[in-house]
Amino acid sequence: MGSSPSEKSPLVFISAGDISGDMHAAHLVDRMKEEWLGRHPGIPIRFAAAGASHLQAAGCDLWEDSTFWGVMGIFEGIKILPKLLLAKRRLIKRINREKPDLVIVVDYRTFNLSLLKEIRDRPDGTKQKSAYYISPVLWWTPSETTEHKAVGKAVDQIRKIPGAAKRGVRDRFEAMADLIDLALVAYPFNLDAYDRAGVNYRYIGHPLGQIAQKMASEGKYLQKYGKMIEGKRLVCVAPGSRTHELRYHLPVLRELLERLNKRYHDLWFYCPVPSPKLEKIIRDGFGFEAKKITFVPDDCYDLMAESDLLIVKSGTSVQLALLLAVPAVTFYKLTSEWMVKLGKRFFQKLPFIAMPNLLAKREVIPELVQSKFTLPNLYVACTELLDDPAVAGHMRAELAELRKLTMKDDPIGEASRKLCDLLEQPPD
Protein backbone atom coordinates (compact mmCIF):
# COMPACT_ATOMS: atom_id res chain seq x y z
CA MET A 1 0.00 0.00 0.00
CA GLY A 2 1.46 3.37 -0.98
CA SER A 3 1.41 6.51 1.11
CA SER A 4 -0.58 9.68 0.51
CA PRO A 5 0.04 13.28 1.60
CA SER A 6 -2.69 12.96 4.23
CA GLU A 7 -1.01 10.03 5.99
CA LYS A 8 0.74 10.68 9.29
CA SER A 9 3.12 8.56 11.31
CA PRO A 10 1.06 6.24 13.54
CA LEU A 11 1.86 5.97 17.23
CA VAL A 12 2.18 2.50 18.77
CA PHE A 13 2.46 2.04 22.53
CA ILE A 14 4.03 -1.15 23.92
CA SER A 15 3.76 -2.39 27.51
CA ALA A 16 6.52 -4.82 28.49
CA GLY A 17 6.60 -5.45 32.21
CA ASP A 18 9.82 -7.42 32.62
CA ILE A 19 13.26 -7.86 31.07
CA SER A 20 12.23 -10.83 28.92
CA GLY A 21 9.22 -9.01 27.50
CA ASP A 22 11.37 -5.94 26.89
CA MET A 23 13.76 -8.01 24.78
CA HIS A 24 10.99 -9.65 22.76
CA ALA A 25 9.25 -6.34 22.21
CA ALA A 26 12.44 -4.72 20.91
CA HIS A 27 12.79 -7.35 18.18
CA LEU A 28 9.14 -6.89 17.30
CA VAL A 29 9.62 -3.11 17.03
CA ASP A 30 12.49 -3.55 14.55
CA ARG A 31 10.42 -5.85 12.31
CA MET A 32 7.31 -3.68 12.50
CA LYS A 33 9.33 -0.65 11.39
CA GLU A 34 10.53 -2.59 8.34
CA GLU A 35 7.09 -3.96 7.54
CA TRP A 36 5.36 -0.58 7.85
CA LEU A 37 7.92 1.31 5.75
CA GLY A 38 7.58 -1.36 3.07
CA ARG A 39 3.86 -0.63 2.94
CA HIS A 40 4.07 3.13 3.54
CA PRO A 41 7.39 4.50 2.20
CA GLY A 42 8.45 7.65 4.00
CA ILE A 43 5.86 7.22 6.79
CA PRO A 44 7.67 5.70 9.81
CA ILE A 45 5.94 4.33 12.91
CA ARG A 46 6.52 6.11 16.19
CA PHE A 47 6.90 3.86 19.22
CA ALA A 48 6.43 4.60 22.92
CA ALA A 49 6.77 2.05 25.70
CA ALA A 50 6.69 0.95 29.27
CA GLY A 51 9.91 -1.00 29.03
CA ALA A 52 13.61 -1.13 29.73
CA SER A 53 16.99 -0.96 27.99
CA HIS A 54 16.13 -3.08 24.93
CA LEU A 55 13.09 -1.03 23.91
CA GLN A 56 14.95 2.18 24.60
CA ALA A 57 17.79 1.02 22.33
CA ALA A 58 15.20 0.16 19.67
CA GLY A 59 14.19 3.83 19.56
CA CYS A 60 11.10 3.83 21.76
CA ASP A 61 10.11 6.84 23.81
CA LEU A 62 10.15 5.34 27.32
CA TRP A 63 7.06 6.49 29.19
CA GLU A 64 7.82 4.19 32.14
CA ASP A 65 10.96 2.23 33.08
CA SER A 66 9.94 -1.37 33.90
CA THR A 67 13.44 -2.71 34.67
CA PHE A 68 12.52 -3.67 38.24
CA TRP A 69 8.89 -4.63 37.71
CA GLY A 70 9.54 -8.35 37.34
CA VAL A 71 8.34 -10.45 40.29
CA MET A 72 7.11 -13.99 40.91
CA GLY A 73 4.61 -14.94 43.58
CA ILE A 74 1.88 -13.15 45.51
CA PHE A 75 4.02 -11.77 48.31
CA GLU A 76 6.81 -10.47 46.09
CA GLY A 77 4.12 -8.85 43.95
CA ILE A 78 2.60 -7.10 46.97
CA LYS A 79 5.94 -5.44 47.71
CA ILE A 80 6.01 -3.56 44.42
CA LEU A 81 2.24 -3.13 44.05
CA PRO A 82 2.23 0.59 45.03
CA LYS A 83 4.89 1.31 42.40
CA LEU A 84 2.94 -0.59 39.72
CA LEU A 85 -0.36 1.12 40.60
CA LEU A 86 1.23 4.55 40.30
CA ALA A 87 2.88 3.61 37.01
CA LYS A 88 -0.41 2.25 35.66
CA ARG A 89 -2.24 5.44 36.65
CA ARG A 90 0.35 7.56 34.82
CA LEU A 91 0.14 5.32 31.75
CA ILE A 92 -3.65 5.47 31.62
CA LYS A 93 -3.54 9.28 31.68
CA ARG A 94 -0.89 9.45 29.00
CA ILE A 95 -2.53 6.86 26.75
CA ASN A 96 -5.82 8.75 26.97
CA ARG A 97 -4.01 11.99 26.18
CA GLU A 98 -1.74 10.72 23.36
CA LYS A 99 -4.37 8.35 21.84
CA PRO A 100 -1.99 5.76 20.30
CA ASP A 101 -3.21 4.13 17.11
CA LEU A 102 -2.40 0.73 18.59
CA VAL A 103 -1.52 -0.61 22.03
CA ILE A 104 0.52 -3.83 22.17
CA VAL A 105 1.01 -5.56 25.50
CA VAL A 106 3.69 -8.22 25.93
CA ASP A 107 3.35 -11.13 28.40
CA TYR A 108 3.17 -9.84 32.06
CA ARG A 109 -0.47 -10.89 32.30
CA THR A 110 -1.88 -9.40 35.51
CA PHE A 111 -0.60 -5.87 34.94
CA ASN A 112 -1.28 -5.82 31.21
CA LEU A 113 -4.84 -7.15 31.39
CA SER A 114 -5.55 -4.61 34.12
CA LEU A 115 -4.12 -1.83 31.94
CA LEU A 116 -6.14 -2.96 28.91
CA LYS A 117 -9.32 -2.98 30.96
CA GLU A 118 -8.79 0.68 31.94
CA ILE A 119 -7.95 1.98 28.46
CA ARG A 120 -10.25 -0.13 26.23
CA ASP A 121 -13.09 2.43 26.36
CA ARG A 122 -11.68 5.83 25.47
CA PRO A 123 -13.10 9.02 27.00
CA ASP A 124 -14.40 10.05 23.54
CA GLY A 125 -16.49 6.87 23.29
CA THR A 126 -14.27 5.02 20.81
CA LYS A 127 -12.47 1.72 21.44
CA GLN A 128 -8.71 1.60 21.94
CA LYS A 129 -7.26 -0.75 19.33
CA SER A 130 -5.07 -3.31 21.12
CA ALA A 131 -3.19 -6.57 20.69
CA TYR A 132 -1.43 -9.11 22.90
CA TYR A 133 2.02 -10.39 21.88
CA ILE A 134 3.09 -13.65 23.54
CA SER A 135 -0.38 -13.82 25.00
CA PRO A 136 -1.15 -15.75 28.20
CA VAL A 137 -1.53 -19.49 28.49
CA LEU A 138 -2.53 -21.56 31.50
CA TRP A 139 0.44 -23.55 32.81
CA TRP A 140 -1.30 -24.90 35.86
CA THR A 141 -3.34 -28.07 36.26
CA PRO A 142 -6.20 -28.11 38.78
CA SER A 143 -5.44 -29.36 42.26
CA GLU A 144 -7.79 -32.04 43.58
CA THR A 145 -7.78 -30.77 47.16
CA THR A 146 -10.99 -29.97 49.01
CA GLU A 147 -9.85 -26.38 49.44
CA HIS A 148 -9.29 -25.87 45.73
CA LYS A 149 -12.67 -27.34 44.81
CA ALA A 150 -14.35 -25.03 47.32
CA VAL A 151 -12.57 -22.00 45.85
CA GLY A 152 -13.58 -23.08 42.33
CA LYS A 153 -17.25 -23.43 43.29
CA ALA A 154 -17.22 -20.02 44.98
CA VAL A 155 -15.73 -18.36 41.90
CA ASP A 156 -18.29 -20.06 39.65
CA GLN A 157 -21.12 -18.72 41.83
CA ILE A 158 -19.66 -15.20 41.78
CA ARG A 159 -19.46 -15.30 37.98
CA LYS A 160 -23.21 -15.98 37.83
CA ILE A 161 -24.03 -12.75 39.64
CA PRO A 162 -25.49 -10.19 37.19
CA GLY A 163 -22.78 -7.74 36.15
CA ALA A 164 -19.92 -9.92 37.42
CA ALA A 165 -18.31 -10.10 33.97
CA LYS A 166 -18.24 -6.32 33.78
CA ARG A 167 -16.50 -6.22 37.14
CA GLY A 168 -13.76 -8.53 35.88
CA VAL A 169 -14.83 -11.87 37.40
CA ARG A 170 -13.71 -13.81 34.32
CA ASP A 171 -10.88 -16.11 33.35
CA ARG A 172 -7.96 -14.79 31.31
CA PHE A 173 -9.37 -15.99 27.98
CA GLU A 174 -12.81 -14.45 28.49
CA ALA A 175 -11.10 -11.19 29.48
CA MET A 176 -8.96 -11.16 26.34
CA ALA A 177 -12.00 -11.73 24.13
CA ASP A 178 -13.39 -8.39 25.37
CA LEU A 179 -10.18 -6.40 25.72
CA ILE A 180 -8.08 -7.10 22.63
CA ASP A 181 -8.48 -7.21 18.88
CA LEU A 182 -5.73 -9.78 18.29
CA ALA A 183 -3.81 -12.32 20.38
CA LEU A 184 -0.49 -13.65 19.08
CA VAL A 185 0.09 -16.97 20.84
CA ALA A 186 3.62 -18.29 21.27
CA TYR A 187 2.98 -21.61 23.02
CA PRO A 188 1.02 -24.61 21.72
CA PHE A 189 -1.14 -24.70 24.85
CA ASN A 190 -4.78 -23.75 25.55
CA LEU A 191 -5.70 -23.08 21.92
CA ASP A 192 -9.05 -24.76 22.62
CA ALA A 193 -9.63 -22.27 25.46
CA TYR A 194 -8.95 -19.38 23.05
CA ASP A 195 -11.52 -20.90 20.67
CA ARG A 196 -14.16 -21.34 23.38
CA ALA A 197 -13.76 -17.77 24.61
CA GLY A 198 -14.03 -16.37 21.09
CA VAL A 199 -10.62 -14.68 21.11
CA ASN A 200 -9.30 -13.54 17.72
CA TYR A 201 -5.91 -15.27 17.92
CA ARG A 202 -3.08 -16.56 15.79
CA TYR A 203 -0.62 -19.26 16.89
CA ILE A 204 2.75 -18.03 15.61
CA GLY A 205 5.23 -20.20 17.55
CA HIS A 206 7.77 -18.84 19.99
CA PRO A 207 9.86 -15.90 18.69
CA LEU A 208 12.78 -16.73 20.97
CA GLY A 209 13.88 -19.62 18.76
CA GLN A 210 14.09 -17.36 15.72
CA ILE A 211 15.96 -14.67 17.67
CA ALA A 212 18.40 -17.11 19.24
CA GLN A 213 19.24 -19.03 16.07
CA LYS A 214 19.77 -15.86 14.03
CA MET A 215 22.08 -14.27 16.58
CA ALA A 216 23.88 -17.55 17.25
CA SER A 217 24.71 -17.83 13.55
CA GLU A 218 26.33 -14.38 13.60
CA GLY A 219 28.94 -15.51 16.15
CA LYS A 220 29.43 -12.02 17.61
CA TYR A 221 30.58 -13.07 21.08
CA LEU A 222 32.42 -16.18 19.96
CA GLN A 223 34.67 -13.85 17.97
CA LYS A 224 34.99 -11.34 20.80
CA TYR A 225 36.03 -13.93 23.40
CA GLY A 226 37.77 -16.32 21.01
CA LYS A 227 41.17 -16.33 22.72
CA MET A 228 39.69 -16.60 26.22
CA ILE A 229 37.57 -19.65 25.42
CA GLU A 230 40.08 -21.54 23.29
CA GLY A 231 40.45 -25.07 24.69
CA LYS A 232 37.79 -24.44 27.34
CA ARG A 233 34.37 -25.90 28.02
CA LEU A 234 31.74 -23.18 28.22
CA VAL A 235 29.40 -23.04 31.21
CA CYS A 236 26.63 -20.45 31.41
CA VAL A 237 25.41 -19.36 34.86
CA ALA A 238 22.18 -17.34 34.72
CA PRO A 239 20.85 -16.47 38.20
CA GLY A 240 17.75 -14.53 37.08
CA SER A 241 16.68 -10.97 36.36
CA ARG A 242 14.44 -10.14 39.34
CA THR A 243 16.01 -8.75 42.49
CA HIS A 244 14.23 -11.16 44.85
CA GLU A 245 15.34 -14.12 42.70
CA LEU A 246 18.93 -12.97 42.95
CA ARG A 247 18.73 -12.86 46.74
CA TYR A 248 17.68 -16.52 46.85
CA HIS A 249 19.84 -17.85 44.02
CA LEU A 250 23.21 -16.11 44.21
CA PRO A 251 24.47 -17.49 47.55
CA VAL A 252 23.99 -21.09 46.35
CA LEU A 253 25.40 -20.39 42.88
CA ARG A 254 28.45 -18.69 44.39
CA GLU A 255 29.31 -21.83 46.37
CA LEU A 256 28.57 -24.04 43.36
CA LEU A 257 31.00 -22.06 41.25
CA GLU A 258 33.70 -22.41 43.88
CA ARG A 259 33.28 -26.21 43.95
CA LEU A 260 33.21 -26.59 40.17
CA ASN A 261 36.37 -24.49 39.88
CA LYS A 262 38.16 -26.83 42.25
CA ARG A 263 37.02 -29.96 40.43
CA TYR A 264 37.55 -28.82 36.83
CA HIS A 265 40.32 -26.71 35.32
CA ASP A 266 38.97 -26.40 31.78
CA LEU A 267 35.73 -24.51 32.40
CA TRP A 268 35.05 -20.95 31.23
CA PHE A 269 32.17 -19.45 33.19
CA TYR A 270 30.11 -16.61 31.83
CA CYS A 271 27.00 -14.85 33.10
CA PRO A 272 24.50 -13.14 30.75
CA VAL A 273 23.57 -9.77 32.26
CA PRO A 274 19.92 -8.96 31.51
CA SER A 275 20.25 -5.23 32.20
CA PRO A 276 23.12 -2.83 32.96
CA LYS A 277 21.19 -1.75 36.04
CA LEU A 278 21.33 -5.31 37.39
CA GLU A 279 25.00 -6.01 36.68
CA LYS A 280 26.31 -4.55 39.95
CA ILE A 281 23.75 -6.52 41.98
CA ILE A 282 24.79 -9.75 40.27
CA ARG A 283 28.52 -9.05 40.60
CA ASP A 284 28.17 -8.23 44.28
CA GLY A 285 26.09 -11.37 44.81
CA PHE A 286 28.83 -13.57 43.39
CA GLY A 287 31.35 -11.83 45.64
CA PHE A 288 34.95 -12.90 45.20
CA GLU A 289 33.89 -15.66 42.80
CA ALA A 290 32.80 -12.96 40.34
CA LYS A 291 36.46 -12.63 39.36
CA LYS A 292 36.19 -16.10 37.83
CA ILE A 293 33.17 -15.18 35.68
CA THR A 294 32.98 -13.17 32.49
CA PHE A 295 29.89 -10.95 32.44
CA VAL A 296 28.41 -10.57 28.98
CA PRO A 297 25.23 -9.03 27.49
CA ASP A 298 22.21 -11.29 27.57
CA ASP A 299 21.98 -11.61 23.78
CA CYS A 300 25.00 -13.94 23.85
CA TYR A 301 23.11 -16.71 22.07
CA ASP A 302 26.16 -17.82 20.10
CA LEU A 303 27.99 -18.54 23.37
CA MET A 304 24.96 -20.39 24.70
CA ALA A 305 24.65 -22.47 21.54
CA GLU A 306 28.27 -23.60 21.90
CA SER A 307 28.08 -24.21 25.65
CA ASP A 308 28.61 -27.55 27.32
CA LEU A 309 26.23 -26.70 30.16
CA LEU A 310 23.65 -24.07 31.05
CA ILE A 311 22.97 -23.58 34.78
CA VAL A 312 19.92 -21.38 34.54
CA LYS A 313 16.94 -20.06 36.43
CA SER A 314 13.68 -21.40 35.07
CA GLY A 315 12.20 -18.98 32.57
CA THR A 316 13.61 -17.49 29.37
CA SER A 317 17.03 -19.03 29.88
CA VAL A 318 15.70 -22.57 30.12
CA GLN A 319 13.62 -21.94 27.01
CA LEU A 320 16.90 -21.09 25.30
CA ALA A 321 18.29 -24.43 26.43
CA LEU A 322 15.38 -26.05 24.61
CA LEU A 323 15.55 -23.91 21.48
CA LEU A 324 19.34 -24.25 21.15
CA ALA A 325 19.34 -27.90 22.31
CA VAL A 326 22.03 -27.40 24.98
CA PRO A 327 22.31 -29.57 28.14
CA ALA A 328 21.00 -27.69 31.15
CA VAL A 329 20.14 -27.75 34.82
CA THR A 330 17.36 -25.43 35.91
CA PHE A 331 16.38 -24.12 39.32
CA TYR A 332 14.03 -21.78 41.12
CA LYS A 333 13.54 -20.61 44.68
CA LEU A 334 10.41 -18.53 45.15
CA THR A 335 9.61 -18.04 48.83
CA SER A 336 9.34 -19.97 52.07
CA GLU A 337 8.35 -23.63 51.74
CA TRP A 338 5.26 -23.36 53.94
CA MET A 339 3.80 -20.71 51.64
CA VAL A 340 4.30 -23.03 48.65
CA LYS A 341 2.48 -25.84 50.49
CA LEU A 342 -0.36 -23.47 51.36
CA GLY A 343 -0.64 -22.39 47.73
CA LYS A 344 -0.86 -26.02 46.57
CA ARG A 345 -3.71 -26.66 49.00
CA PHE A 346 -5.81 -23.66 48.05
CA PHE A 347 -4.95 -23.08 44.43
CA GLN A 348 -3.20 -25.25 41.86
CA LYS A 349 -0.15 -27.35 41.22
CA LEU A 350 2.30 -27.95 38.40
CA PRO A 351 4.01 -31.24 37.58
CA PHE A 352 6.93 -29.26 36.10
CA ILE A 353 7.88 -25.64 35.55
CA ALA A 354 10.57 -25.88 32.82
CA MET A 355 9.33 -25.65 29.23
CA PRO A 356 11.13 -28.81 27.97
CA ASN A 357 9.60 -30.85 30.77
CA LEU A 358 6.13 -29.38 30.26
CA LEU A 359 6.29 -30.31 26.59
CA ALA A 360 7.60 -33.83 27.26
CA LYS A 361 5.40 -34.32 30.34
CA ARG A 362 8.42 -35.77 32.12
CA GLU A 363 11.75 -34.53 33.43
CA VAL A 364 14.10 -34.11 30.47
CA ILE A 365 16.32 -31.62 32.29
CA PRO A 366 16.83 -31.62 36.06
CA GLU A 367 14.50 -29.23 37.89
CA LEU A 368 15.70 -28.10 41.31
CA VAL A 369 12.80 -26.09 42.69
CA GLN A 370 12.15 -24.81 46.21
CA SER A 371 13.47 -27.35 48.79
CA LYS A 372 15.35 -29.23 46.02
CA PHE A 373 17.37 -26.11 45.23
CA THR A 374 20.38 -26.96 47.38
CA LEU A 375 24.11 -26.93 46.78
CA PRO A 376 24.51 -30.76 46.90
CA ASN A 377 21.63 -31.32 44.46
CA LEU A 378 22.89 -28.67 42.08
CA TYR A 379 26.46 -29.98 42.25
CA VAL A 380 25.43 -33.57 41.48
CA ALA A 381 23.24 -32.56 38.55
CA CYS A 382 25.97 -30.40 37.01
CA THR A 383 28.83 -32.86 37.48
CA GLU A 384 26.81 -35.69 35.95
CA LEU A 385 26.46 -33.72 32.72
CA LEU A 386 30.05 -32.46 32.77
CA ASP A 387 31.53 -35.91 33.52
CA ASP A 388 29.51 -38.07 31.14
CA PRO A 389 29.35 -37.04 27.45
CA ALA A 390 26.75 -39.77 26.79
CA VAL A 391 24.32 -38.26 29.31
CA ALA A 392 24.84 -34.78 27.88
CA GLY A 393 24.50 -36.05 24.32
CA HIS A 394 21.24 -37.83 25.09
CA MET A 395 19.81 -34.64 26.57
CA ARG A 396 20.86 -32.67 23.47
CA ALA A 397 19.03 -35.14 21.23
CA GLU A 398 15.85 -35.01 23.34
CA LEU A 399 15.82 -31.22 23.37
CA ALA A 400 16.35 -31.08 19.60
CA GLU A 401 13.21 -33.20 19.12
CA LEU A 402 11.12 -31.22 21.58
CA ARG A 403 11.95 -27.83 20.07
CA LYS A 404 10.15 -28.85 16.88
CA LEU A 405 6.90 -28.45 18.85
CA THR A 406 7.46 -24.72 19.42
CA MET A 407 9.38 -23.64 16.31
CA LYS A 408 7.72 -22.03 13.29
CA ASP A 409 9.40 -20.42 10.31
CA ASP A 410 9.09 -16.69 11.02
CA PRO A 411 7.05 -15.88 14.15
CA ILE A 412 8.27 -12.28 14.46
CA GLY A 413 7.62 -11.59 10.79
CA GLU A 414 4.14 -13.08 11.00
CA ALA A 415 3.40 -11.06 14.13
CA SER A 416 4.63 -7.87 12.43
CA ARG A 417 2.43 -8.46 9.40
CA LYS A 418 -0.65 -9.17 11.51
CA LEU A 419 -0.05 -6.11 13.70
CA CYS A 420 0.47 -3.83 10.70
CA ASP A 421 -2.74 -5.22 9.20
CA LEU A 422 -4.50 -4.31 12.45
CA LEU A 423 -2.89 -0.88 12.49
CA GLU A 424 -4.20 -0.20 8.96
CA GLN A 425 -7.77 -1.11 9.85
CA PRO A 426 -10.00 1.91 10.46
CA PRO A 427 -11.00 2.39 14.12
CA ASP A 428 -14.43 1.26 15.26
Residue by residue, what is the 3-state secondary structure of 265-285?
Answer: CCEEEEEEECCHHHHHHHHHH
C-alpha closest to that of 31 among 426, 411, 316: 411
5 located within any domain: no
348 and 418 in a common domain: no
148 located within any domain: yes
214 and 140 in a common domain: no
Predicted confidence band of residue 231 (pLDDT cuts 50, 70, 90): very high
125 and 30 in a common domain: yes
Q: Is the pLDDT at 8 greater than 90, yes or no?
A: no
Count of the separate structural domains present in the chain = 2
C-alpha closest to that of 191 among 170, 178, 212, 176: 176
Q: Is the pLDDT at 148 greater than 60, yes or no?
A: no
Q: Is the pLDDT at 234 greater than 80, yes or no?
A: yes
Q: Is the pLDDT at 387 greater than 60, yes or no?
A: yes
Q: Is the pLDDT at 142 greater than 80, yes or no?
A: no
155 and 20 in a common domain: yes
For residue 373, the enclosing domain spans 209-405
345 and 384 in a common domain: yes
Q: Is the pLDDT at 126 greater than 50, yes or no?
A: yes
Of residues 387 and 333, the one with the higher pLDDT is 387
336 located within any domain: yes
289 and 344 in a common domain: yes
334 located within any domain: yes
Percent of the chain with pLDDT over 90: 60
Per-residue pLDDT, averaged over 250-271, amounts to: 96
Return d(Cα 175, Cα 114) in angstroms, integer: 10
385 and 242 in a common domain: yes
201 and 232 in a common domain: no
Q: What is the dihedral of CA 292, 298, 304, 305, to 10 degrees?
A: -160
162 and 54 in a common domain: yes
3 located within any domain: no
113 and 185 in a common domain: yes
CATH of the domain at 227: 3.40.50.2000
170 located within any domain: yes
Predicted confidence band of residue 317 (pLDDT cuts 50, 70, 90): confident
Contact 399, 326 (CB under 8 A): yes
Of residues 149 and 240, the one with the higher pLDDT is 240
Per-residue pLDDT, averaged over 267-293, amounts to: 89
Per-residue pLDDT, averaged over 318-340, amounts to: 81
Per-residue pLDDT, averaged over 423-428, amounts to: 86
Q: Is the pLDDT at 95 greater than 50, yes or no?
A: yes
2 located within any domain: no
Lowest-confidence segment of 4-8, 270-274, 290-294 by average pLDDT? 4-8
189 and 128 in a common domain: yes
Predicted confidence band of residue 165 (pLDDT cuts 50, 70, 90): very low
58 located within any domain: yes
276 and 183 in a common domain: no
Q: How confident is the model at residue 43, as a pLDDT?
A: 94
Q: Is the pLDDT at 263 greater than 70, yes or no?
A: yes
Of residues 281 and 383, the one with the higher pLDDT is 383
Beta bridge partners of 46: 11
Predicted confidence band of residue 79 (pLDDT cuts 50, 70, 90): low
